[in-house]
Structure 1
Amino acid sequence: MDDVPTHRSIVLLSVGHGCVDVYQGAVAALVPFFISERSYSYAAASGVVLAASLLSSVAQPLFGAVTDRRALPWLLPVSTLIGGVGIALSGVAGSYPLTLAFVAVSGVGVAAYHPESARVARIASRGSHTAMGWFSLGGNIGFVVAPLMVAMVVTAGGLRLSPLLVVPALVGSVLCLPVVRALDGTSSSGLDPSVSGGGGSIDDRASFVRLALAVVCRSVVFVGLSAFISLYAQARTSGGAAAGTAALVLLYAGGAAGTVLGGNLAGRWGRVPAARRSYLIAAVAVAGVVLVPGPAFYLFVALAATALYVPFSLQITLGQDYLPSRVGTSSGIILGLTVSIGGLASPAIGAVADATSLRVALAPLIVMPLLSWLLFRTLPEPLSTTTERLNKVQEPPRVR
C-alpha cells in the first residue's frame, strides 16, 4: 500500500479529533435546551453532564491500558460513530433515564477514542510536541463548532431534530479510515519504543500523579464553565439565547487559541513553566468571568479559555514523558481527567445554583487554577531526549 505522509496523517487525525470532541461540546450546548424544553432543574441538567463524564472518566484509562498491550486503530472510526449516535439519540429520548443512558453511551465512545488516537498521533508525529499540539487543536475546534451546530439544529426544530447531530460522526469515521489502513498491523514496527510506548525509560510516577491532580483541578473549572456559561452569560449581560451561545463559542474558541499558543510558549519557556504561568493568568480570568458584568464579561471568558488551554497538549506530552513505558495508559488518564472528571463536580455546582445562584455556585472555580499552579511548581521538566532526537531528523519518516 502507498505510504501516508506524516503531515497528512496528523491532519486527518486532527480533523477526526474534532469530529469526536464536537460531541463533548454538544453536551454543554444541549443543557439550555433540556432546561427550556423539558423543564430540567440546574441539578437535573448537570446530571446530563455527569452522565457524559462518569463512564468516560473511568473507561479512558482502561482503554489506554488495553492499547498499551495491543494496537487497536480500528477503535478510531468505531468510537467516533458511538460518540455521535449517543448524542444524536439523547434529544429524542422519551425519559430522563434514557437521556442519561444515551449521553453515557456517547461518553464511552469518546473514552474509547482518545487513548488510541493519542497513541497513534504520537507515532505519526514522531514525538513532536508541535504536531501533538495540532492534533489537540482539532479537538478544540470540535468544541467551538459544537454550540453553533446544536444551536442551528435545535433552534430550527427543537430537540426532535437531534438525530441530525450524527453527521460529524459519519464524516469523522470516514476520515479515520486512511490512517487506520496505513497503520493497521504496523503502527509500532520499527519505531523507537519510547515513542510507541515501549520500555527503555524510567517512569516517574510521583510526578505523573501530581500532574494528574493538576489536570483534575483544571477539568473542574473548565467543565464547570462549559456546563453553565451559556446560562450565566444571559444573566450577566441581560441577553437572550444568542448571548449564551456567543459565550460558549468564545469559551471554546479561546481554547483553540490557547492550544496553538501553548506549543509556542513551550518552545520558548519549556512545558512546565508555560503551563504554570498560564494557570496564574487563568485564576485572574476566571475571577473576572464570575464577578464582572456587562460586555467585559466576554473578554474574561476568552482570556480564561485561552489560559486554561495553553497547558492542554503540553499536559498530554508531559504525561507520556513521565510514563514512557505506558503511553496509552498515560494518554487515557490525562485525556480522561481533562475532558471527563470535571463532570463529576457539575451536579454539586448545579445543586448550589438551585439553592442560591449561579454566581455563588461558580465562585469556587476561581480557586481551581491556583491549585493547578501550586502543583505545577513541584513538577520537573522531563528530559525527553528521544523526542528531541526525533525532532532533529531532517525528513520525518513516513507512517506506513
Structure 2
Amino acid sequence: MRRNTSITLLSVGHACVDVYQGAVAALIPFLVDRRGYGYAAASGVVLAASLLSSVAQPFFGALTDRRAVPWLLPASTLLAGVGIALSGLGGAYALTLGCVALSGLGVAAYHPESARVARRAAAGAHSAMAWFSLGGNAGFALAPLLVAAVVGTGGLHRTPLLVLPALAGTALCLVVLRAAHARPSMPGGTAPAGGSDDTASFVRLALAVVCRSVVFIGLSTFLPLYVRQRLGGSAVAGTVALFVLYLGGAVGSVLGGALAERWDRVTVCRWSCLVSVAAVAGVLLVPGPALYGCTALTSVGLYVPFSLQVTLGQDYLPSRVGTAGGITLGLAVSVGGVASPLIGRIADATSLRTALTPLVLMPALSWLLLRTLPEPAPPKLSAGAPTTPVTGRRRAQSWPSTTRRRTTR
C-alpha cells in the first residue's frame, strides 16, 4: 500500500476502537440518571475500564516486541465493541463493571500493535503519526453523539447497537492485514539497528503522560455532570461539552504534528502543558457558556503532544517499540482512570468543583517533568539491513530506510 492509504485505513480503524474509550464516559450521565449511581459509583465504572486496560498494556506491548501479532488488531477491535454493547443489559452494578472491563481489555490489546504498525507505515513522519492519532481522537469525539443517539433515545437496553463501529473496524483491519500479506514489509519491524535505550527519559515522559491522563479522564468522567450543574439544562448540555472536549483533541493532534515539523517535539510538549494549565483553570472558573471555549482550549492543549509523546517514547526505547507504544498510547493514557474514584469521593463529600480543582496542577507537573527532557536523535538503520516479512521472529525496523529510498529518487 501507499503510505497515505495505509495511514488512512489505520486511522479509521483507530477511530472504531477509541470510540469505546469515549463511550464509557458518555454512558456515565445515563447511568446516573437511570440507575441512580452516585459520583463514586459512576467513577468506578470508568475505573473498571481503565484498570484492566492499564494492567494489560505492558503485557501486550512486550508481546508485540517479541513477535508479530497482527491478528490482535481485528480481535481486539471486536472485543472492545462487544464489552460496551453488553454494558447496558441487566441492572447489576458488577455486570456493568465486568462489561466495561472487557472493553478495556480490547482497547489494551489494540494499541501496542497498532502503534508499531502505524509508525512503520508513517516512515518516521510526525505528521503521518498525527493523522493516525487523529483517528483515535475522532472516535472519542463521535462517542458522545453515538451514545446519545442510541441510549438517549431508546434507553440502556439498546447498547447492543453500539457494536456496529467494532464490526466496521474489524472489517477494516482484515483489509489491512490482507494488504500486509500481499506486501509483507509494511507491518513488520520493531527497532532500528544499533539503537540504545534511554530509560530514564522514557520514565519521565511516561509520568508526564500520566499527569495528562488524570486531567483528561477526570474531565471526561465528570464534565457532563459539571456542565449541567453550572449551566442547568438536560443531559444534552453535558453531552455537548463532552463532544467539544473530544473534538478539540482531534484538532490538537493534527496541530501537534504540524508544530513538530517546525520545532522539536519536546518544546511543543512543554508549551502545550502551560496552555493546559490556564485552560483547565478556565473550565472551573469562567462563568456562563464561555466554559465551552475553555473546554475546547483544554482539549487542544492536552492533545497537541499526544502523537508526539508516542514517537518520543519509541525513540527513547528503540529496542522495545511495542512496549513504548503500549505505555505512551495506552497505559499512561488509561491509568488516569485510577484517580477517578478519588475525585468522585471528594465530590460526594464536598462539591464537584472542589473535586476537580486539583486537576489544574497536573499539566504543571507534566511541564516540570518535560522541562529538561532531551530531544532524542532520529532512529538510525544499519546499512544493508533487510526488510523482512511478518513472522514470529524479531524483525529489524525499516522506516528510516523507506524515507531514504523515497528522498533519493
TM-score bracket relative to the smaller structure: over 0.9
> Could you tell me which amino acid in structure 2 is paired with residue 394 of structure 1?
R
1:87 alignment partner in structure 2? 84
Deviates more, 1:300-309 or 1:231-240: 231-240
1:51 alignment partner in structure 2? 48
1:254 alignment partner in structure 2? 248
- In the alignment, the residues of structure 2 paired with residue 270 and residue 364 of structure 1 have an alpha-carbon distance, to the nearest angstrom, of 30
Task: Name the CA shift for 1:189/1:96 in 2 (closer, same or farther; >3 Å).
Answer: closer
- In the alignment, the residues of structure 1 paired with residue 67 and residue 172 of structure 2 have an alpha-carbon distance, to the nearest angstrom, of 22
2:383 alignment partner in structure 1? none
Q: 2:406 aligns with which of 384, 394, 397?
A: 394
Give 5+ residue unaligned stretches, structure 1: none
2:366 alignment partner in structure 1? 372
1:117 alignment partner in structure 2? 114
Structure 1 residue 360 corresponds to structure 2 residue 354: yes
Post-superposition CA distance 1:333-387 (Å, at most 9, x none): 1122343101000000011111111100000000000000111112100111537
- Which secondary structure does the structure 1 equivalent of 2:269 belong to? helix
Structure 1 residue 304 corresponds to structure 2 residue 298: yes
- Which secondary structure does the structure 2 equivalent of 1:340 belong to? helix
2:168 alignment partner in structure 1? 171
Q: 2:93 aligns with which of 88, 91, 96?
A: 96
Structure 1 residue 72 corresponds to structure 2 residue 84: no
1:123: Cα distance to partner?
A: 1.5
> Could you tell me which amino acid in structure 1 is paired with residue 323 of structure 2?
T
Deviates more, 1:15-24 or 1:331-340: 331-340
Task: Name the CA shift for 1:187/1:358 in 2 (closer, same or farther; >3 Å).
Answer: farther
Structure 1 residue 18 corresponds to structure 2 residue 15: yes
Q: 2:273 aligns with which of 276, 279, 296?
A: 279
**Contact 2:74–2:171 under 8 Å retained in 1:** yes
2:134 alignment partner in structure 1? 137
**Contact 1:119–1:328 under 8 Å retained in 2:** yes
Size of the alignment, in residue pairs?
391
Task: Name the CA shift for 1:187/1:126 in 2 (closer, same or farther; >3 Å).
Answer: farther
Task: Name the CA shift for 1:393/1:289 in 2 (closer, same or farther; >3 Å).
Answer: farther
Structure 1 residue 181 corresponds to structure 2 residue 193: no
- Which secondary structure does the structure 1 equivalent of 2:134 belong to? helix
Task: Name the CA shift for 1:88/1:268 in 2 (closer, same or farther; >3 Å).
Answer: same
Percent identity between the two aligned chains: 65
2:261 alignment partner in structure 1? 267
Structure 1 residue 294 corresponds to structure 2 residue 291: no
1:129: Cα distance to partner?
A: 1.4
TM-score when normalising by structure 1: 0.94
**Contact 1:123–1:187 under 8 Å retained in 2:** no
Post-superposition CA distance 1:66-107 (Å, at most 9, x none): 000110111111100000000010011331001000100000
Post-superposition CA distance 1:149-173 (Å, at most 9, x none): 0000011111000000000000000
1:261: Cα distance to partner?
A: 0.4
1:154 alignment partner in structure 2? 151
- Which secondary structure does the structure 2 equivalent of 1:196 belong to? coil
Task: Name the CA shift for 1:395/1:159 in 2 (closer, same or farther; >3 Å).
Answer: farther
Task: Name the CA shift for 1:6/1:231 in 2 (closer, same or farther; >3 Å).
Answer: same
1:14: Cα distance to partner?
A: 0.3
1:196: Cα distance to partner?
A: 3.0
Q: 2:329 aligns with which of 327, 335, 355?
A: 335
1:209 alignment partner in structure 2? 203
Deviates more, 1:124-133 or 1:362-371: 124-133
Q: CA RMSD in A?
A: 1.8
> Could you tell me which amino acid in structure 2 is paired with residue 65 of structure 1?
A
Post-superposition CA distance 1:24-48 (Å, at most 9, x none): 0000000000000100111000000
Give 5+ residue unaligned stretches, structure 2: 381-398
1:326 alignment partner in structure 2? 320
**Contact 2:318–2:379 under 8 Å retained in 1:** no
- Which secondary structure does the structure 2 equivalent of 1:127 belong to? coil
- In the alignment, the residues of structure 2 paired with residue 117 and residue 368 of structure 1 have an alpha-carbon distance, to the nearest angstrom, of 28
- In the alignment, the residues of structure 2 paired with residue 45 and residue 262 of structure 1 have an alpha-carbon distance, to the nearest angstrom, of 32
TM-score when normalising by structure 2: 0.92
